[in-house]
Chains A and B, each alone.
Chain A
Amino acid sequence: MSNFLVRRLVSSIPVLFGILLVTFVLNRSIPGDPCRAVLGERATAAICDAYMERYGLNEPIPVQFVYYLRNVLQGDLGTSLRFGRTVTELLAERLPVTIELAICALFVAVIAGIPLGILSAYRRNSAVDVSTMLFANVGVSMPVFWLGLMLAYFFGVILKDTVFALPPSGRLTAGANPTPFFIAWGVIDDPRQASNLLLFLSRFNILNAILTLNVNLFLDAARHLLLPAVAVGTIPLAIVARMTRSSLLDALGQDYTRTARAKGLRELAVVVRHAVRNSLLPVVTIIGLSFGGLVSGAVLTETIFGFSGIGRTLVDGITARDYTLVQGVTLVTAVTFVVINLIVDILYGYLDPRIRLS
């Protein structure tokens, strides 16, 4: 297993280098420089000259890349041109927002998608199957932007003042001001002295609520997560449902299923213990890929629901020609993909021992 892990990690280095190089070159190929994008249209030529010099942007691009690579290898992702803060600090602050949303969306997708897929396969060609697959097709083709706005309007405005009302945007109710767990535990008095790791962990509202045993915070965070999780989770849900259905249909036609039935097992046991378990392998792949997609593709959802995650940050970075921020977000997203793929590969081994042996 350790050999496998090392091999996979080493093989990901050229991938990450390639991503860094391509992002770096593409960033600088866009017309316009960051000075006016960041400092506004009132920035004079003298201000812009000083600005470009301060951030080393007047150096030849290959020289800039070498400097950047050297800093990345030392764990320094640079300073954001727009925010004037380190990219690491911004990522520690904003990555949890996206990861929390992605986990919740995936939870929605798996919890609803797999049962729907199983039901659809088990009742193949029935009204249930047709309606489930119709729902899945609509879900796949639904624009997230539109769905998000409709959900926000329906649950925020139409159902306003009812028990079904949900907050249309934001991560918490205005003024909630949650206490980070490290403050509640008395580890640190001033949040500004917290390390990036503590800051990173405390930004998961659900986790922070659990660690501080704050039920109100937990419920508030969960209520605020529900609509964006549904909006961003609809497409993976539909894909998971379709994949589960087709995979299970395949498994139900296999010899071992027929053997299980011949042994006299109850139909439920045949489906759940034999067919479903074997049909989950491709579904796990899809779930893994979906999670990576959710992390990198939460741009629209974060925009609509006012989440300051890395999707939104990436857009801000691109708009402001914030090279270091865009490169940092891209690198972290790429690393997330690599790690998730690695986890999926490891899970394969447990779900199908033949893969681990080979």
Chain B
Amino acid sequence: MFQRKLLLVFTLLTVLAMGMALPVAGQDMATSVECGADGYVGNLQSIEVLDDMTVKFTLCNPDPAFGSKAAFNAFPIQSSEYLESTGGGGDLVRSPIGTGPYRLQNWDLGNEMVLTRFDDYWGEPAREETVILRWNSEAAARLVELQAGNIDGMAGVGTGDFEVVEADPNLTLIPGAITNVFYLGLNNTKPPLDNVMVRQAIAHALDRQRIVDNFYPEGSVVATQFMPPVLFGYTDEVEPLEFNVELANQMLDEAGFPRGDNGVRFELPLNYRDVVRVYLPTPGIVGADIQAQLAEVGIQLNIEQMESGAFLDASDAGELSVYLLGWGMDYPDATNFLDFHFGGGASDQFGTKFDEIIGPLNVGAQSGDVDVRYQAYIEANTALRDLVPMVPVAHGTSGDAWNARVDGAYAAAVGTTKFALMEDTEDDNIIYMQNAEPISLYCADETDGETFRACGQISESLLDYEPETGEVVPALATSWEVNDDATEWTFTLREGVMFHDGTTLDAGDVYNSYMAWWDASSPYHVGRDGNFTYFSAFFGGFLNAPATE
């Protein structure tokens, strides 16, 4: 408590001494906290500016994925001057000033957003002068707009419209990267799921190929592991449990669950929420198919649909037995999938946690050595297969559709698609229709993909993802160094990067941006509504977080 107060006093004195102004590069910029002290649960220990173009982050616990996280859209670097003049909210939220290839020209709320090329962009200039973002929540209506020629591209082709787009010579279908998983959750505290043979039998009884073939759009694949194949943490060496109804029946018999007179061995509820996601485009139908498949081996599932929020709360609390759920990637690393679900800090959604899984996951999460990590994930994936806390079913895909005349159209493997790489060969703008209007343009305080897509054209993070592969690549930082145990990350910034208002990027901007998110007592910790959800989720918590009742 003493240190926390000391830090508060220090912060207040600093702010008062500077007349509420943010520090600038050259002034002393360093903030640190004692890990675990006074209720601090975050993983960020300190941020310090080493010189005008160098920033160092120190972590409480190793995090080899810190670079991946720093590349995420939710951490856009802001100009210190603009951050200060807007007070961390207000115009920062509606009219941001970033370093990206496009800047905001006009946001006609409710109708459209117009972006224009930033001529002083540090990288390759945007190919098109103007990008216009529009929105309509109905995939069919977006497709009609595209077919009418009023827009150049659209997000999220409807599951039933893939063939329509492919058959139209004027259109191009761009399948999205497969970075999600749909699974059948099995809670090992709910009998008879406490018997590992029962869980294994369920895995053997499921014909996952049938589900993917019948209920997923073209390009989706069967999930053989929890990790999608394109991401680090997927291990070819681990074979999945095969589809074998005969073996499933045999295992259930051996486990002591013979069929009754009506052919049923036991009954269980099957819970799901009727929310469409890329990983589960038709929840009700897939649930019914799984019910039918498991009925073949004498397991009667009674389907119960739940409201989304109540469903998530119940699954997190370990209250559900069998349920349909999935996960979409935030950043391309195994920790985002495996640790979140099966690590020591995971929720109780699968029941009692397994040391056989937590052990290798800890090794993988605390080493900066790729080979060591890979071996750990082989072990973790093997344990996941054998202990069956869930059955991975499918990796779904979505698809964008573009007018064929647009050159360079692609779908980002990770992060947001960058319109700066595209060109409409017939006019000087790209008109793109997405699912919904961005909520704001300050993505540090947002969580939805539509907002990230807009922010991603205007603002940039320290690092970025390579458009096709998703590999972490330099952006505002040209290079970064990490120590052996992945607790110290030092970023060297790019020289000559200009913000849209003409100011130049330096280490002070990085420091002040991160401090505004990290320090809940900062006068600039404002945003749109001050939640900074992703910062808290990725880095464990805020500095000086107010106590809640």
| Chain A residues packing against B (C-beta within 8 Å) | 30-37, 39-44, 46-47, 49-51, 53-54, 58, 82-84, 93-94, 97, 149, 152-153, 156-157, 160, 165, 167-175, 177-178, 192, 203, 303-306, 308, 312, 321
Docked Cα-Cα span, A75 to B541, in Å, equals 37
Docked Cα-Cα span, A175 to B308, in Å, equals 37
Given A93-B110, A169-B144, A304-B141, CB of A174 within 8 Å of CB of B439: no
CB atoms of A37 and B308 under 8 A apart: yes
CB atoms of A156 and B439 under 8 A apart: no
Given A156-B148, A157-B147, CB of A308 within 8 Å of CB of B549: no
In the assembled complex, the CB of A318 is this many whole angstroms from the nearest CB of chain B, namely: 12
State whether the Cβ of B398 lies closer than 8 Å to any Cβ in chain A.
no
CB atoms of A168 and B309 under 8 A apart: no
Docked Cα-Cα span, A272 to B145, in Å, equals 44
Contact with A along B131-151 (1 / 0, CB 8 A): 010111110110011011111
CB atoms of B110 and A43 under 8 A apart: no
Q: Is the interface of A mostly helix, strand, loop or mixed?
A: loop
Q: Which residues of B contact A321 (CB under 8 A)?
A: 309
Q: 26 A-B Cβ contacts within 8 A?
A: A32-B308, A36-B312, A36-B313, A42-B533, A43-B537, A44-B536, A46-B536, A82-B439, A83-B439, A149-B144, A152-B141, A153-B147, A157-B144, A160-B149, A168-B150, A169-B145, A170-B111, A171-B111, A175-B132, A175-B431, A177-B114, A304-B138, A304-B141, A306-B134, A308-B109, A308-B110
Q: Which residues of B contact A58 (CB under 8 A)?
A: 549
State whether the Cβ of B429 lies closer than 8 Å to any Cβ in chain A.
yes
Contact with A along B410-449 (1 / 0, CB 8 A): 0000000000000000000101000001011000000110
Docked Cα-Cα span, A312 to B94, in Å, equals 21
Stretch of B15-23, B239-247, B523-531 at the chain-chain interface: B523-531
State whether the Cβ of B30 lies closer than 8 Å to any Cβ in chain A.
no
Given A37-B308, A168-B141, A168-B150, CB of A54 within 8 Å of CB of B439: no
Contact with A along B514-549 (1 / 0, CB 8 A): 000000000000001111011011000100011011
Chain A's closest residue to B520 (CB) is: A50
Docked Cα-Cα span, A172 to B41, in Å, equals 50
CB atoms of B530 and A153 under 8 A apart: no
Docked Cα-Cα span, A43 to B446, in Å, equals 11
Docked Cα-Cα span, A35 to B529, in Å, equals 12
Q: Which residues of A contact B534 (CB under 8 A)?
A: 42
CB atoms of A308 and B548 under 8 A apart: no
Q: Which residues of B contact A84 (CB under 8 A)?
A: 93, 439-440, 528-529
Partner of A43, one of B94, B148, B531: B531
CB atoms of B110 and A41 under 8 A apart: no
State whether the Cβ of B106 lies closer than 8 Å to any Cβ in chain A.
yes
CB atoms of B136 and A50 under 8 A apart: no
CB atoms of A46 and B548 under 8 A apart: yes
Interface size class for chain B?
35 or more
Chain B's closest residue to A309 (CB) is: B110
CB atoms of A39 and B309 under 8 A apart: no
Chain B's closest residue to A96 (CB) is: B110
CB atoms of A170 and B533 under 8 A apart: no
CB atoms of A160 and B148 under 8 A apart: yes
In the assembled complex, the CB of B63 is this many whole angstroms from the nearest CB of chain A, namely: 17
State whether the Cβ of B124 lies closer than 8 Å to any Cβ in chain A.
no
Q: Which residues of B contact A36 (CB under 8 A)?
A: 308-309, 312-313
CB atoms of A170 and B447 under 8 A apart: no
Give 17 new A-B contacts, CB below 8 A, not counting A160-B149, A170-B134, A174-B431: A32-B308, A36-B308, A36-B309, A40-B447, A42-B534, A43-B537, A44-B541, A49-B549, A54-B529, A93-B110, A160-B147, A170-B112, A174-B132, A174-B429, A175-B130, A177-B114, A303-B137
Report B23-77 residues with CB < 8 Å from chain A CB. Answer: 41
Given A83-B439, A305-B141, CB of A47 within 8 Å of CB of B135: no
Given A39-B533, A47-B536, CB of A31 within 8 Å of CB of B144: no
CB atoms of A152 and B109 under 8 A apart: no
In the assembled complex, the CB of A228 is this many whole angstroms from the nearest CB of chain B, namely: 11
In the assembled complex, the CB of B286 is this many whole angstroms from the nearest CB of chain A, namely: 19
Partner of A47, one of B132, B147, B431, B533: B533
CB atoms of B548 and A50 under 8 A apart: yes
Chain A's closest residue to B530 (CB) is: A54
Chain B's closest residue to A173 (CB) is: B150
In the assembled complex, the CB of B141 is this many whole angstroms from the nearest CB of chain A, namely: 5
Report B383-406 residues with CB < 8 Å from chain A CB. Answer: none
Q: Which residues of B contact A156 (CB under 8 A)?
A: 144-145, 147-148, 150
Partner of B136, one of A44, A49, A169, A175: A169
CB atoms of A168 and B148 under 8 A apart: yes
Given A31-B309, A149-B140, A153-B144, CB of A175 within 8 Å of CB of B110: no
Q: Which residues of B contact A47 (CB under 8 A)?
A: 531, 533, 536-537
Docked Cα-Cα span, A237 to B112, in Å, equals 31
In the assembled complex, the CB of A146 is this many whole angstroms from the nearest CB of chain B, namely: 11
CB atoms of A40 and B141 under 8 A apart: no
State whether the Cβ of B306 lies closer than 8 Å to any Cβ in chain A.
yes
CB atoms of B548 and A306 under 8 A apart: no
In the assembled complex, the CB of A321 is this many whole angstroms from the nearest CB of chain B, namely: 7
Q: Which residues of B contact A171 (CB under 8 A)?
A: 111
Docked Cα-Cα span, A152 to B537, in Å, equals 42
Chain A's closest residue to B74 (CB) is: A42
In the assembled complex, the CB of A329 is this many whole angstroms from the nearest CB of chain B, namely: 14
State whether the Cβ of B1 lies closer than 8 Å to any Cβ in chain A.
no
Q: Which residues of B contact A149 (CB under 8 A)?
A: 140-141, 144
Q: Which residues of A contact B138 (CB under 8 A)?
A: 303-304
Partner of B309, one of A32, A93, A97, A174: A32
State whether the Cβ of B310 lies closer than 8 Å to any Cβ in chain A.
yes
State whether the Cβ of B330 lies closer than 8 Å to any Cβ in chain A.
yes
Given A46-B536, A53-B549, A157-B148, CB of A308 within 8 Å of CB of B437: yes
In the assembled complex, the CB of A328 is this many whole angstroms from the nearest CB of chain B, namely: 16
Q: Which residues of A contact B140 (CB under 8 A)?
A: 149
Given A47-B531, A50-B548, A83-B439, CB of A41 within 8 Å of CB of B312: yes
What 6 pairs between A and B have smallest CB-CB spacing? A32-B309, A308-B110, A40-B447, A306-B136, A156-B148, A31-B310
Chain B's closest residue to A33 (CB) is: B309
Q: Which residues of A contact B429 (CB under 8 A)?
A: 174-175
State whether the Cβ of B371 lies closer than 8 Å to any Cβ in chain A.
no
In the assembled complex, the CB of A179 is this many whole angstroms from the nearest CB of chain B, namely: 11
Given A30-B307, A32-B307, A50-B546, CB of A43 within 8 Å of CB of B150: no
State whether the Cβ of B261 lies closer than 8 Å to any Cβ in chain A.
no
Docked Cα-Cα span, A58 to B548, in Å, equals 11
State whether the Cβ of B108 lies closer than 8 Å to any Cβ in chain A.
yes
In the assembled complex, the CB of A263 is this many whole angstroms from the nearest CB of chain B, namely: 57
Docked Cα-Cα span, A93 to B437, in Å, equals 14
Report B87-106 residues with CB < 8 Å from chain A CB. Answer: 93-94, 106
Docked Cα-Cα span, A58 to B448, in Å, equals 25
Chain A's closest residue to B327 (CB) is: A41
In the assembled complex, the CB of B499 is this many whole angstroms from the nearest CB of chain A, namely: 21
CB atoms of B548 and A177 under 8 A apart: no
Partner of B307, one of A31, A35, A165, A303: A31
Chain B's closest residue to A167 (CB) is: B150
Chain B's closest residue to A35 (CB) is: B309
Q: Which residues of A contact B308 (CB under 8 A)?
A: 32, 36-37
Chain B's closest residue to A199 (CB) is: B109
Chain A's closest residue to B447 (CB) is: A40
Q: Which residues of B contact A53 (CB under 8 A)?
A: 548-549
Given A156-B144, A306-B141, A308-B111, CB of A37 within 8 Å of CB of B309: yes
